[in-house]
A and B are shown apart, each in its own frame.
Chain A
Amino acid sequence: DTAVSQTPKYLVTQMGNDKSIKCEQNLGHDTMYWYKQDSKKFLKIMFSYNNKELIINETVPNRFSPKSPDKAHLNLHINSLELGDSAVYFCASSFTGGDGYTFGSGTRLTVV
């Protein structure tokens, strides 16, 4: 299936831990994104990579570090997790200038 896939779907972890979320797309898109959906369901961009190059870096704590090993993969590593990091994180991809976004199904992160 052509898609944007994220793993894991659910992540429950303790404060202070470090965790990673992985994203892969097989749509041939050249741009990938991380969005955060908070408890009020508002979606806000965090990062964007175009052909492995960081092009958007919103005001996000530097505990969050994206990595793009190739244009089909964009991972998100979070250090020293805090309660406020609890949210749903969505990966998405698109062609530059193009045909709209495709979203993954999300990773629900709960920090306890």
Chain B
Amino acid sequence: KQEVTQIPAALSVPEGENLVLNCSFTDSAIYNLQWFRQDPGKGLTSLLLIQSSQREQTSGRLNASLDKSSGRSTLYIAASQPGDSATYLCAAPQGGGSEKLVFGKGTKLTVNP
């Protein structure tokens, strides 16, 4: 059974800092891993999708890495801005070919001006 853990649960940083959010998963037989952003009272916005054949994906100031062998993914945010404040969710498939996506509990990020 897939379990996804995100550390830290909350993070507060001053504007301009580079930061790393961590995600670990127990079943490494995954075909991809997805990072989402959720603003308060809003839906989920997909940030990055990393296929199992890839080691990282980049979009603007965001870079996500995937290490299946160690069961870890990281989301790197460069030069953080107050607009980056949100909850970041990591999600991995259940495994065994299942389409079920298992979510971590998220990291709540606050970027202070």
Contacts and interface: CB of A to CB of B under 8 A. Distances in A.
B105 A94 contact: no
A56 B100 contact: yes
Nearest to A97: B31
Contact of B99 (A48, A106, A108): A48
B19 interface: no
Interface residues of B, number: 24
A68 interface: no
A40 B9 CA distance: 12
A100 interface: yes
A92 B38 CA distance: 14
A99 B49 contact: yes
For chain A, the bracket of interface size reads 20 to 34
B61 interface: no
Contact of B105 (A42, A55, A92, A108): A42
Interface in A62-112: 90, 92, 94, 96-106, 108
Interface in B80-95: 87, 89, 91
A54 interface: no
B99 A105 contact: no
B99 A42 contact: no
Nearest to B41: A108
Given A103-B43, A105-B43, A42 B103 contact: yes
Nearest to B45: A103
B46 A101 contact: yes
Given A92-B44, A92-B101, A103-B36, 20 more contacts: A33-B101, A41-B87, A41-B106, A42-B103, A42-B105, A43-B89, A45-B100, A45-B102, A56-B98, A56-B99, A90-B43, A98-B32, A100-B32, A100-B34, A101-B34, A101-B101, A103-B44, A104-B43, A106-B42, A106-B43
- Those 4 A-B pairs whose CB atoms lie nearest each other, nearest first: A105-B43, A100-B49, A103-B44, A43-B103
Interface of A: 31, 33, 40-45, 48, 50, 55-56, 90, 92, 94, 96-106, 108
